[in-house]
């Protein structure tokens, strides 16, 4: 299951969406991100994307959102 959780500036957390997928590929993450955007997620409201440094997530975020990712 892929999941996206958002947090407001006040620290309130909210599940933005989830997807039951058969694999954690770049194509699956890209489809998930596109679905979030289609359902109303505003790109301009995104301040950061945090993940477990999975290469498929990095690729999908870079290609779909135009955000360059880096490891801490």
Tell me: the pLDDT tens digits for 34-65?
999 999 999 888 888 888 878 898 899 999 98
Give the model's pLDDT for residue 71: 53
Nearest to 65 by CA among 1, 51, 8, 18: 51
Domain boundaries, the chain: 2-65
Length of the chain (residues): 72
What is d(CA 34, CA 41) in angstroms, rounded to the nearest whole number?
9
């Amino acid at each position: 299951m892929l999941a996206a959780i958002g947090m407001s500036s006040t620290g309130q957390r909210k599940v933005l969406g989830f997807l039951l997928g058969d694999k954690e590929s770049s194509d699956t993450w890209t489809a998930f991100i596109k679905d979030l955007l289609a359902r109303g997620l505003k790109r301009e409201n995104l301040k950061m994307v945090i993940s477990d440094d999975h290469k498929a997530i990095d690729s999908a975020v870079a290609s779909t959102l135009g955000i360059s990712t880096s490891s801490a």
